Amino acid sequence: MRCASTKPSGRLADRFGARWLMGLGMTLVALSLLLFARLDANATFWSILPGLLVGGLGMAVTMAPTTATAMASVPVDKAGVGSAVINSARQIGGSTGIAVMGALFATELTVGPTDPRYPGQFVAGYHLALHVAAAVALAGAIVAVLTVRRLLHAEAHEMAEPVATTTRAD
């Protein structure tokens, strides 16, 4: 059972399936991280803009199908709990990702901000963190494509099952 959506990502998910959108979106996020990893200490707004646009599109394509797929696997009477778990997982995942990227970044810094070697080490740490994050995002895209399946709510499964009917001969 599909429900037509008026949102572009919802219409695309109805047409192609959530797993393909999730895979595409996470691939775009990985690409945006690689675009950011090309930046150096002399980057301008115009050199940052492509990564921002690609990353924004990737997140837009990813989030709605991810939420819809996760909520479809939860019975309607447990939707509040399901939504809370999804939002908590996003918060914890984001915080953990930032912590890991910060730790990776810090491994490259051996001097203080006043040392002339600092900008080079800063950029090296930045690049390391972004390359690892891009690899994780690409792995997420692969996992989404290989494991996400279309689910119907439990109530929709019951309605989709044929009901046995009896006919009386008069």
- For residue range 140-160, what is the model confidence (pLDDT) as tens digits? 999 999 998 865 555 555 555
What is the arithmetic mean of pLDDT over 98-102? 96
Q: pLDDT (tens digit, 9 = 90+) per residue, 74-87?
A: 898 998 999 999 99
Nearest to 33 by CA among 137, 156, 157: 137
> For residue 94, how many C-alpha atoms fall within 13 Å in the half-sphere facing its CB?
7
Global pTM exceeds 0.75: yes
Per-residue pLDDT of 35-72, as tens digits, reads 999 999 899 999 999 999 999 999 999 988 888 888 88
pLDDT of the residue at 44 = 95
How is residue 149 annotated by DSSP?
-
Indicate the residue type of 56: G
**Which residues have C-beta within 8 Å of that of residue 77, sequence separation ≥ 6?**
none
CB 156 within 8 A of CB 1: yes
Q: Is the dihedral of CA 95, 101, 106, 107 positive or negative?
A: positive
Decide: 61 and 28 in contact? Cβ < 8 Å.
yes
Q: Tell me the two tokens of residue 103.
A: 């730790």
* Range 131-148 average pLDDT: 95
- Quote the pLDDT of residue 1: 44
The alpha carbon dihedral of 124, 130, 134, 137 has a sign of positive
Choose between 7 and 111: higher pLDDT.
Answer: 111
Query: Is pLDDT above 60 for 98?
Result: yes
Round to whole Å and give the CA distance between 43 and 50: 12
Of 30, 59, 31, 53, the residue nearest 139 (C-alpha): 30
pLDDT mean over 9-17? 71
In this predicted structure, the answer to whether residue 163 has a pLDDT above a threshold of 80 is no
